[in-house]
Chain A
């Protein structure tokens, strides 16, 4: 029995209550350091797991065992309904699992400025860690949904208690938006459960089994293309709201701006990735064995092509429109929030391309954005905490480079990384996604205007980052910065770590590229 992932999943949530009590009854700093030690341990452990199975990487071997999942565990939970407790990682979830641990580690260290209700804060962080981990490693649809929804409670409190001035509105908006979308997704999951019934009425929630059952039922004619289409759109609504894309993106700027900056970094770095992960895992991976009689995969049929066209258009609009909105933002954090939506548009475009470039690019974009945007959000927090009236407005703050040179340097670096400068992580993802789009005979042929408009929109991204750098860093220092000293260690070193990741992933993409590619080859027909 493999208990590696069970440990990663259960340890944080199990320790949250003891750590809360430790902080409440003893000193709050005990809770702080307890959480840091816990998350450091899980990070090192997941790194160890990565090295153990994924570094001497052998793509052929990965999919030879346990349906392509490492550290696979499957226990019965409610056998009569088909609910199992099953975990496992493959080429898609392992990089995201590692990303989760890293982003949590930097976020918890950047939280050292929080002194209000510290014990509750760190307990929430640990629950959140379990929820996000569970979403990425769950192989059972029921467990997946539990982990997916578990994230809401700690995030709600994080925004509500430790957030900015409009935090009440933002917290409830975040909660209602994402919960309603998850419930729509839930209906989709119900249909998967019902259409994915095995022989002799053996219902199951176990995803690898459902994948086979769907293909078998499709071949037998019990499940039609229309059924799959319905499932796709129901789960798509759920995932795309978390993702988020135009027009269901409006919770994101509010939630990001009002959340404390470590909370925003988790939101941007991981919660958005949960949407992307779900979208790839549930429709794309789950339908990958479905084949029509003339050997076409689901996304190559007419229905599938329509789906790809629509999500490509959604991706294109979400890439271009929030970029323009970001251009006119004065609040630094709001600008970064809109740029997140814009980058997630690239993920959707890559998926729409449906070839190895596109999907690899989409997954790589999730990782790249997962290290870059938390860094930017943490930097916006540094700006906020070090200005006189705690503001992030670019019109009020100027000349940061004179007072906080290291911070300014990191901002320039991560800003360019986010804008897709070659040599950094974001570039690898963007170039692959766009090559995938142009290479696709469908979207790159008849609908060639979609990739063209998308590529042109990238210029806007560079535009707002350059403008922000100009206004925020290189104007004359304003009076807001009179007493500003260089940033403290816990403000700057976490961001530096993320910047190192952005550089390494840009220079040596092969570190994770082969793992992602093995997954992609597996789901493509």
Chain B
């Protein structure tokens, strides 16, 4: 079972040795490592476990694949984005380190390794955001994410201490001691607040727009596609498996957070005129939709749980595809025209049908238009909310979706307009292939719905 870590660490060291050499070399090694990790994840699933600290189940498989495969998108976007920096190897080393943290989160059955995994994701992330240290915006974003991240970690630690106080154990699903209701509530509230920072739920979302528009785009891709999924794994571990019995408390907390995120995320995106800020607020809204699934799991019966888990898995993987594709497309535009201001996208359909088409497809998918990937996730999340008896939450989600058409539609309209100049978009072979692959996956994703449902059922059965 340790083969996975060994594999990662060995190549990590190799990566460090070769770092000043040819860039293509580093990219290849990192990609291969990630692919190998994904392959090993299949082997590792279901293997015997020596301690009760870890479990290699379907949850591990799902979230390892999410983390590792989305990191490949990051590798490709960094390939073009980071060509100014010499030490690309360091960047990739940080990326791999964060992935190890993500895997640690996904296998833990105890709060101590879980928290270590969480920090192992967070700390490389701070470094990656501040990677372009000469750049003012990047430095500012780095400081912002670090300070708020440290604060959230403190919240979580404090909450975990409360959990220990309430149960006398760090194991998942420990029995609460008598008369510990106040401590339980404090633990749930503190941990939920700390997690909301990472997954970007209102009112802990303030860093997202600034970091998204300030940090290097490949790092944003990491934050949106990869590290956020690891943070979601952290949340599910904590609440579904760790504190499953206290569902009434955290269900309510997440209902409030989801409502606030959907409302504020969608409304704030309307007034933005930089695409990365629009995407940042849309990320907040999307996190709100996923939180609907958390609430349905809390309040629903078995069938609603299955639907919610399926919706969550679907939406998370769809989010990797559509946010990944959108940010890769923005990256190409930014490198050609210098900024992500919405006017720079005017006439993108005419200048480059590939980039424009892929971006439009990603935005339609984010809106939740069938038969694209984003639709299925939203569909099952809303269905689970109605099934679980929290119809009002589904209605809020629906109103948010309706608002989202306006701001995504605005970008698509601008892209469909006549271009004002003929400067062609500089494409990049690796990224173009990436865009095509992501777009195709977005189109045909619905065909895999059954696989996701079985996965969801298995995850719930083993918890």
Contact = CB atoms under 8 A, between A and B. Distances in A.
Interface of A: 24, 77-81, 83, 120, 142, 145-146, 149-150, 152-153, 156-157, 160-161, 168, 171-172, 175-176, 179-180, 183-184, 186-187, 190-191, 193-194, 201, 203
B304 to A, nearest CB: 9
B454 interface: yes
B402 A149 contact: no
Contacts of A168: 413
B402 A191 contact: no
A523 to B, nearest CB: 27
Contacts of B457: 80
Given A179-B402, A193-B383, A187 B395 contact: yes
A186 B398 contact: yes
B113 interface: no
B302 to A, nearest CB: 9
A160 B398 contact: no
Given A186-B382, A190-B383, A156 B370 contact: no
Contacts of B399: 180
Nearest to A230: B391
A120 B415 CA distance: 14
A78 B416 CA distance: 36
Contacts of A184: 398
Contacts of B413: 160, 168, 171-172
A231 to B, nearest CB: 12
Contacts of B394: 187, 190
Contact of A191 (B307, B310, B386): B386
B450 A77 contact: yes
Nearest to A194: B387
Interface in B356-372: 364, 367, 369-371
Contact of B453 (A81, A157, A172): A81
Contacts of A203: 303
A387 B56 CA distance: 73
B375 A149 contact: yes
14 contacts: A79-B450, A81-B453, A142-B379, A152-B369, A153-B369, A160-B413, A168-B413, A176-B402, A180-B399, A186-B379, A186-B382, A190-B386, A193-B383, A194-B386
Shortest Cβ-Cβ A-B pairs, 6 listed: A146-B370, A180-B402, A183-B398, A190-B386, A78-B449, A80-B453
A146 B375 CA distance: 9
Majority DSSP secondary structure for residues of A touching B: helix
B353 interface: yes
Contacts of B310: 81
Nearest to A76: B450
Contacts of A194: 386-387
A150 B383 contact: no
A190 B387 contact: yes
A68 B291 CA distance: 43
Given A78-B449, A145-B370, A152-B369, A161 B416 contact: yes
B270 to A, nearest CB: 12
B401 A175 contact: no
Contacts of B401: 179, 183
A6 B380 CA distance: 25
Interface string B47-84: 00000000000000000000000000000000000000
Interface string B285-326: 000000000000000000100110010000000000000000
A176 B406 contact: yes
A172 B383 contact: no
Nearest to B367: A179
Nearest to B400: A183
A83 B449 contact: yes
A123 to B, nearest CB: 11
- The residue among B353, B401, B409 with the most chain A CB atoms within 10 A of its own CB is B409
B435 interface: no
Contacts of A83: 449
Given A152-B369, A186-B382, A78 B398 contact: no
B399 to A, nearest CB: 8
Contacts of B307: 81
Interface string B389-423: 00100110011011001100110010010000000
B402 A187 contact: no
B398 A80 contact: no
Contacts of A180: 398-399, 402
B271 to A, nearest CB: 16
Contacts of A175: 405, 409
A222 to B, nearest CB: 15
Nearest to A176: B405
A77 B391 CA distance: 26
Given A77-B449, A176-B406, A187-B394, 11 more contacts: A24-B353, A80-B457, A81-B380, A150-B369, A150-B370, A168-B413, A172-B413, A179-B401, A186-B398, A187-B382, A193-B383
Contacts of A24: 353
Nearest to A167: B413
B364 A153 contact: yes
A187 B398 contact: yes
A491 B450 CA distance: 48
A268 B406 CA distance: 24
Contacts of A156: 409
Contacts of B406: 172, 176
A157 B416 contact: yes
Contacts of A79: 450
A83 B371 CA distance: 14
Contact of B371 (A78, A146, A183, A193): A146
B440 to A, nearest CB: 11
A79 B453 CA distance: 9
Contacts of A149: 369-370, 375
A79 B364 CA distance: 27
B95 to A, nearest CB: 34
B142 to A, nearest CB: 38
Given A77-B449, A179-B402, A191-B386, A150 B409 contact: no
Contacts of B369: 149-150, 152-153, 179
Contacts of B409: 156, 171-172, 175-176
B390 to A, nearest CB: 12
Given A79-B450, A81-B307, A81-B310, A183 B402 contact: yes
Contacts of B349: 120
A83 B383 CA distance: 13
A187 B386 contact: yes
A83 to B, nearest CB: 7
B391 A201 contact: no
A190 B378 CA distance: 13
Most B C-beta atoms less than 10 A away, residue of A83, A175, A184: A175
A24 B399 CA distance: 38
B364 to A, nearest CB: 6
A153 B450 CA distance: 26
A486 B371 CA distance: 44
A180 B400 CA distance: 10
Nearest to A119: B353
A180 B397 CA distance: 11
Contacts of B387: 190, 194
A187 B449 contact: no
B416 A160 contact: yes
Most B CB within 10 A of own CB, among A79, A153, A157: A153
A81 B364 CA distance: 25
Contacts of B379: 142, 145, 186
Nearest to B371: A146
A80 B382 contact: no
Nearest to A191: B386
A80 B399 CA distance: 29
Contacts of A190: 382-383, 386-387, 394
A140 B433 CA distance: 35
A187 B384 CA distance: 11
B450 A201 contact: no
Contact of A80 (B353, B391, B405, B450): B450
A426 B306 CA distance: 50
A183 B306 CA distance: 22
